[in-house]
């Protein structure tokens, strides 16, 4: 488990006392968290937070991961995690999941676990804080802590599932990552302890050796419990003491912890790697050091400075990379290797293989900062940004899910969790004391570290480098002592957004819907503005400008041209302002703004803080002024596209083949060919201008934590005066085909088969069907999981979806899973048997009741998301011209019935509408 600092945490303490600490003092633990330790050694952390209401998030952190395994147990920590769901004293086999799901808690979404190098974490997310759910949750925690049975028959049934999880992870990126880790963590236990484990161990380890691990490491004094949510903290503490106080005889034995150290190699190292399927050259320069946590103010300040340095370097890199022909992108970041090692890394993605030239350019970039430091202007701008951010964060309240997950590394590593008020005061104290010399000194400390690693990733197959580690060290020393030009402060000067000469126009309030708190405005240009106030995400606002159109409203030969134009125009910038300039201008208050184009609609979307809505609307008007594509963006696109076709992997080729068979009369995202490179950026710019910017008959949506009067003023300034341009377009809806044969492709690099079963049926679209599709897909997925995973041990997971676009006369769906190649036909047959049973026999009444209960819970949770609320509002007005469809969920009991589900199942699961696609080794 890596160590993290949460400098700008997002929850608010009621306390407002000042904090003044000396650098040698230990950081104060958040006194809002009720902490304690039972007699059996279990530590607990309980935090009241009512965002969202009624929810409770529980995390059981076991300080046992793959690093704790013996040589013959590699993978056993992960196996124990699986076995915790497959049999305990009071819940044999899978009944622990069944019991929790009866309360509306869904496996994988609300009940889950993960294993890493150092810890295993079990998660329970409760939608209701009532006694029954909490009582059962604590019973389950007690089972995990004390009563996992690990019977041989249960272990044998789970081996195949764990092996399929291993198989599903296999990829070129994973293998490359493992190679990098072997270099970066050379000489450490981490290299030998991948949490997924060793295949031979997974296949053959005995139940007794698995139980040995469980009994040795699963003991209360090696665990911590986190409970965050809308709770009575003292009542939760009583539950902890009542349910989880059982003593473990093993606790009398002292636990010997594994060696977490990664030996530092205190000199320059050079390593080159490649992996089949990886074709992008990269250079990574790392500076490594040991860390020793003291949880003091001095350490917090050091990390604070480090985060400032990271940001200032990345701002410079944004400017620098534009001047380098061989560099596509550059980043600098900090990460923790294991528990006690820190890695500061420059990572460059290249457009060619001029490695030595790029390395020298990077060294010059570093040497410039080393010699001249950051500028006073850069420093003051960052101090101002952080000061403003610190003030903003004080009034923002985080959700319980985030707080619970943030506490995991805190309790796993015995760190301090600061209260928001203490963070605020400490940040103010540091910001008032910091000097430019502090940052420059900290930067030089980094680059003067002796342990340096230069890692070159080459396109496969790799070639011998034409330089050695000695050459690299000599180049470093030479450049660091050479004469350099001082950084030009003008390059970082913030120019501000281009000025708009706009005359305000009238905005009239037409209708208010008290149900949903939705206001409709009519603008002077005839457009509509739909506004909804919500503080579900404090100080957050979303903006959309939408109109009909999209990719299915233009000629087929323009489909890929418009997709490409949108991507390249957005990457270039906003209007005539380059993207790098926009990023720098908005560095104090970053916003997201982009073009939106899908099959049947188009427009723009913006996201930011409530105080930045004016900026978002300013960007919207700038975007409509021009649509340039820069030469560098076009050159990069050309190179990447050529590489895409020249080095296409089998997964992509497979998706292209399936799409061609499924949509034979239409273009899709997979049907693009190299002919796109024959176009010019000028033609793409003209297409964007004519199809996007010259269609402005928008309906506007503003949703978030912003007052109505502010929305009205900004709409008058930016929206009501926009000239409305209309275009009449014909739609070309997608038409799905059902191939009469199985699609099969070979050539996958992994020992794996990817199986997809597609579903198609004629169906009249109705808005209510969205809920039926979701529930039916969930039922199918559960039945397939139980059959293919739990009974046949043939898969790790299965994904199922059903949907229908309102413009289409067909519903569609897909079932997908991966498995061993030799089991494909058997598992496909089993899957079809499940589908046949559902279609012919219908859905069991008790399953309908269970899924209806889960759906009620899910919908309630979804409406906690401001983005989901916006989506519901936008969809309702797009399809119905009113907010009516938003409230369909209130009729769930009438919509999600056995009769309706059986009706949809007979259509969707008809064998005539099914076909299979298989990619395998």
Instruction: List C-alpha distances in Å: 148 to 82, 251, 796.
Output: 10, 17, 21
Distance CA 153, CA 882 (A): 57
Largest distance between two CA atoms of the chain? 81
Do 811 and 907 touch, CB atoms closer than 8 A? Answer: yes
Structure tokens at 132: 């029954």
User: Closest by alpha carbon to 311, among 421, 259, 386?
Assistant: 386
381 is catalytic: no
- A 10 A CB-CB count for 187 gives 11
Q: What sign does the dihedral 127-133-136-142 (CA atoms) show?
A: positive
Tokens 């979804």 correspond to what residue?
862
Beta bridge partners of 138: none
Beta bridge partners of 145: none
User: Closest by alpha carbon to 194, among 42, 73, 307?
Assistant: 73
β-strand 223-229 against 327-337: which pairing, if any? Answer: unpaired
Distance CA 467, CA 455 (A): 13
Do 402 and 420 touch, CB atoms closer than 8 A? Answer: no
The residue annotated as part of the active site, out of 69, 81, 101, 158, is 81
Distance CA 85, CA 144 (A): 9
Distance CA 786, CA 36 (A): 40
Distance CA 701, CA 705 (A): 13
Task: Check residue 85 and report its DSSP letter.
Answer: T
Quick one: which H or E segment has residue 425?
Answer: helix 420-433
- Main-chain dihedrals φ then ψ at residue 432, nearest 5 degrees: -75, -20
Instruction: List C-alpha distances in Å: 676 to 341, 572, 595, 684, 752.
Output: 47, 18, 20, 10, 33
Distance CA 475, CA 139 (A): 63
Q: What residues contact 635, with CB distance under 8 A and at least 6 apart?
A: none
Task: Check residue 625 and report its DSSP letter.
Answer: T
Distance CA 476, CA 269 (A): 13
- Cα 370 to the center of its chain, rounded Å: 35
- Cα 373 to the center of its chain, rounded Å: 35
User: Closest by alpha carbon to 45, among 218, 297, 229?
Assistant: 229
Beta strands per DSSP E along 85-211: 111-115, 120-126
Question: Distance between terminal CA atoms of the chain?
Answer: 34
Percentages helix, strand, coil for the chain, rounded to the nearest 5? 45, 20, 35
- Main-chain dihedrals φ then ψ at residue 36, nearest 5 degrees: -170, 175
Rg of the chain over Cα atoms, rounded to whole angstroms, equals: 29
Beta bridge partners of 846: none
Q: For 755, left (φ over 0), alpha (ψ -120 to 50), or beta?
A: beta
- Main-chain dihedrals φ then ψ at residue 332, nearest 5 degrees: -130, 130
Structure tokens at 387: 């000061």
Distance CA 500, CA 718 (A): 9
Coil, strand or helix at 234: helix
Sequence length of the chain is 921
Structure tokens at 37: 């330790």
Q: What residues contact 903, with CB distance under 8 A and at least 6 apart?
A: none
Active site residues: 81
């Amino acid at each position: 488990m890596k160590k993290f600092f949460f400098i700008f945490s997002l929850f608010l303490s009621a306390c407002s006392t000042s904090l003044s600490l000396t650098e040698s003092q230990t950081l104060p633990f958040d006194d809002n968290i009720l902490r304690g330790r039972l007699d059996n050694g279990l530590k607990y952390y309980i935090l009241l937070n009512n965002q969202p209401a009624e929810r409770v998030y529980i995390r059981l952190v076991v300080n046992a991961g793959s690093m704790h395994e013996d040589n013959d147990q590699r993978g056993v920590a992960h196996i124990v995690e699986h076995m915790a769901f497959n049999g305990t004293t009071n819940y044999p086999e899978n009944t622990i999941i069944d019991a929790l799901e009866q309360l509306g808690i869904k496996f994988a979404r609300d009940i889950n676990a993960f294993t890493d190098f150092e810890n295993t974490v079990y998660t329970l997310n409760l939608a209701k804080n009532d006694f029954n759910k909490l009582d059962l949750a604590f019973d389950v925690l007690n089972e995990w802590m004390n009563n996992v049975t690990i019977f041989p028959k249960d272990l044998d049934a789970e081996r195949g599932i764990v092996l399929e999880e291993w198989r599903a992870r296999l990829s070129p990126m994973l293998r490359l990552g493992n190679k990098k880790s072997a270099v970066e963590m050379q000489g450490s236990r981490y290299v030998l302890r991948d949490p997924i484990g060793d295949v031979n161990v997974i296949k053959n380890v005995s139940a007794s050796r698995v139980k040995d691990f469980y009994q040795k490491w699963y003991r209360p004094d090696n665990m911590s419990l986190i409970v965050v949510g809308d709770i009575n903290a003292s009542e939760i503490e009583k539950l902890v003491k009542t349910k989880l106080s059982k003593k473990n005889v093993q606790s009398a034995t002292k636990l010997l912890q594994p060696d977490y150290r990664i030996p530092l190699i205190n000199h320059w190292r050079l390593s080159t790697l490649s992996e089949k399927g990886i074709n992008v050259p990269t250079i990574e320069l790392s500076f490594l050091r040991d860390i020793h946590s003291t949880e003091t103010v001095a350490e917090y300040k050091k990390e604070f400075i480090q985060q400032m340095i990271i940001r200032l370097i990345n701002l410079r890199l944004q400017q620098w990379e534009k001047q380098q022909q061989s560099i596509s992108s550059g980043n600098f970041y900090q990460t923790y290797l294991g528990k006690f090692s820190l890695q500061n890394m420059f990572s460059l993605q290249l457009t060619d293989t001029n490695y030595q030239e790029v390395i020298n350019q990077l060294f010059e970039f570093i040497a410039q900062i080393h010699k001249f430091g950051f500028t006073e202007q850069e420093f003051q701008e960052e101090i101002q940004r952080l000061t403003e951010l610190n003030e903003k964060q004080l009034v923002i309240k985080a959700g319980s899910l985030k707080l619970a997950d943030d506490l995991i590394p805190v309790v796993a590593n015995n760190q301090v969790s600061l209260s928001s008020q203490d963070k605020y005061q400490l940040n103010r104290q540091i910001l008032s004391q910091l000097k430019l010399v502090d940052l420059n000194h900290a930067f030089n400390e980094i680059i003067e570290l002796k342990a340096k690693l230069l890692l070159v990733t080459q396109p496969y197959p790799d070639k011998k480098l034409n330089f050695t580690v000695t050459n690299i060290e000599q180049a470093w020393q030479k450049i660091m002592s050479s004469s350099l030009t001082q950084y030009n402060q003008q390059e970082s000067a913030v120019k501000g957004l281009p000025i708009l000469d706009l005359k305000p126009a009238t905005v009239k309030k037409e209708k208010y819907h008290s149900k949903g708190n939705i206001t409709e405005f009519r603008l002077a240009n005839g457009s509509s503005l739909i506004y909804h106030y919500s503080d579900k995400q404090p100080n957050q606002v979303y903006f959309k400008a939408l109109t009909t159109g999209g990719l299915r409203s233009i000629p087929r030969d323009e489909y890929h041209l418009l997709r490409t134009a949108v991507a390249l125009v957005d990457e270039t910038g906003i209007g005539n302002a380059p993207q790098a300039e926009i990023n720098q201008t908005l560095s104090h208050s970053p916003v997201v703004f982009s073009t939106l184009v899908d099959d049947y609609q188009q427009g723009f979307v913006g996201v930011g803080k409530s105080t930045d809505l004016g900026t978002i609307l300013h960007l919207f008007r700038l975007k409509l002024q021009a649509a340039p594509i820069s030469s560098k963006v076009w050159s990069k696109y050309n190179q990447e596209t050529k590489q895409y076709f020249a080095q296409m992997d089998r997964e992509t080729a497979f998706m292209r083949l399936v799409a061609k068979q499924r949509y034979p009369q239409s273009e899709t995202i997979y049907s693009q060919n190299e002919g796109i490179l024959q176009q010019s950026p000028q033609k793409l710019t003209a297409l964007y201008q004519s199809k996007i910017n010259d269609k402005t008959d928008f309906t506007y949506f503003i949703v978030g934590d912003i007052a109505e009067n502010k929305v009205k003023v900004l709409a008058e300034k930016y929206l009501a005066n926009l000239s409305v341009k209309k275009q009449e377009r014909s739609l070309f809806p997608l038409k799905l085909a059902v191939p009469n044969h199985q699609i099969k492709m070979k050539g996958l690099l992994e020992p794996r088969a990817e199986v997809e079963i597609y579903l198609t049926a004629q169906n009249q679209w109705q808005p209510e069907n969205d809920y039926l599709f979701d529930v039916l897909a969930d039922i199918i997925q559960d039945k397939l999981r139980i059959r293919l995973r739990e009974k046949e041990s043939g898969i790790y997971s299965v994904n199922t979806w059903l949907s229908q676009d309102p413009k289409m006369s067909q519903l569609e769906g897909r079932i997908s899973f991966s498995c061993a190649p030799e089991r494909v036909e058997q598992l496909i047959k089993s899957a079809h048997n499940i589908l046949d049973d559902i279609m012919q026999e219908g859905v069991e009444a008790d399953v309908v009741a269970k899924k209806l209960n889960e759906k009620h819970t899910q919908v309630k949770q979804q409406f906690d998301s401001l983005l989901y609320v916006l989506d519901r509002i936008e969809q309702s007005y797009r399809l119905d011209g009113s907010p009516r469809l938003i409230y369909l969920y209130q009729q769930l009991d009438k919509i999600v019935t056995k009769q309706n589900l059986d009706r949809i199942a007979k259509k969707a699961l008809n064998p005539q509408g099914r076909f299979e696609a298989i990619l395998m080794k």
